[in-house]
Chains A and B, each alone.
Chain A
Amino acid sequence: MKKIEKAKLNDLLARLAEASTLYLPVRKGGKVNFAKWTKDEEYCADELKTVKSAKDVFFPQSENIVSFKRESSKITILPKELPTDRTVIFGVRACDAKSFDILDSVFMSEPADSFYTARRNSAVIITTACSTPEETCFCGVFGIDPANPGADIQTWFVGEELFWEALSEKGKALTEELSDMLSDADEKEVEDEKSRISEITKQLPLNGLSLENFGGDKTNELFDAAQWEKLSQSCIGCGTCTFVCPTCQCYDIRDYDTGNDIRRYRCWDSCMYSDFTMCAHGTNRPTQLQRFRQRFMHKLVYFPANNNGEFSCVGCGRCVSSCPISMNIAKVIKSFGGDNK
């Protein structure tokens, strides 16, 4: 266990930013999101949840993947170079850290996504324990512990100090690089902080949700359930839940004609949108009920069916607080009898 005074944290961030591209929660236009850190930015350490999750770093909302240029009769294909620079993401919460495992199983299983894999392999993830979990948090339902956020390095803010524990080889190597800035620390204070956080998580109103009625073998049981109609009836079909979600992974690939070249880009897609997975037949999912059902069946049934029972939700609660009509996965789970309170 290592530690650093909070007052010296900016020096540490500056050091990290010298040798890597550093992403952390910063405030822009009044809202906090993960962004590239520069010396002028303030690290919003107290912000529990950024609006968007940290997944942008590995899976940007939109990116060009290849471009095509035509000169007379010759067409040149210009693939985008893979990023190789080391990236450090600081201040990731336990839920977002777990979401990377879920995204890995999508993007890094064969055939691996080369862009995602390149970014993921060159990144070091530094997590921060949640000192003030909120009522919308329910990561415990998915076996996540906000007091032990994991990843390459995990940290805790206690009093005027940041405690630091390297977990992976990557994390240990980075800690070694910073050894002159970190001092040895006693574990006692961290243990106290962990117990304090655990006491809070026990009181979280949504942490008692039960997933026993969901899982990979529930398709037939749940697909035509009567509940979907009431649950989806007020859904306005926006993509807020999917775009703030750390585990939503669907994307679209389109071509954009700049007049000078063709840029093939991929961008996040949302199953809530009417043109999601639209093919020539034009009958993908014509009703909002079907789109709504797809989102929750994917997270609670189809994903576990294909990933050894793992659910693709981490209980971060972003959708709980940002849905314009306050409909969310917690309410879906409850309506299928998952309220264990």
Chain B
Amino acid sequence: MAQLICRDLSLGYEGKALIEHLNFSVEKGDYLCIVGENGAGKTTLLKTLLHLHAPLHGTIEAGDGLRKDEIGYLPQQTLVQRDFPASVWEIVLSGCQRRGKWHLFYSSADKQLARQSMEKMNITNLSKRCYRELSGGQQQRVLLARALCATQKLLLLDEPVSGLDPKATEEMYALIRSLNQEGITIVMISHDLSAVASDASHVLHLGKKIFFGTKQDYLKSENVHTFDRKGDE
């Protein structure tokens, strides 16, 4: 059984649908890239998968031992965070919030998990640094470490490389690839066709014509051409 199954999903705001009749599923260990032009509803889809938005129609089911709160999330940076006084450690540890329980203080197991996540992301040495003084790539790794505290199963990434320089971008992709190889399912919004081509196992293209399938099929499909053209703009 798949980890996430979306059946006949319609998404949008105030009754206006951005996406209709969306069907797709994510298996354990998949690396799904969500592509499409701006305004096609990529972030809305991600927020719906996180249960931040209710879908207009259709269902999202979690399966294969995945509880719906076991999803890690790497959001795009907000204005508030850019000058937020917080240490890397405080932020990573905040990934250990638990759903619905009266879990007010972090246990030593939580702290251990936070340390492990930081090690995986190579940011142990930054632990005491202030978040707002880090480079863009380092900040993304901090947020990724936080997401790892929330899940060991499925990560949703919203344009993890936006605003990063080529070197940091490459490092970020390498980290995501290694997490995927460890067995963590990746669902990523991307603008970057080369990343889709090299790393993804499946592609979901949102737009007038929705495509869902394996990367090989996608690269042969006609959607890839519209994506190419959008990418040049």
- Asked whether A and B interact, the reply is no
- Residues of chain A whose beta carbon lies under 8 Å from any beta carbon of chain B: none
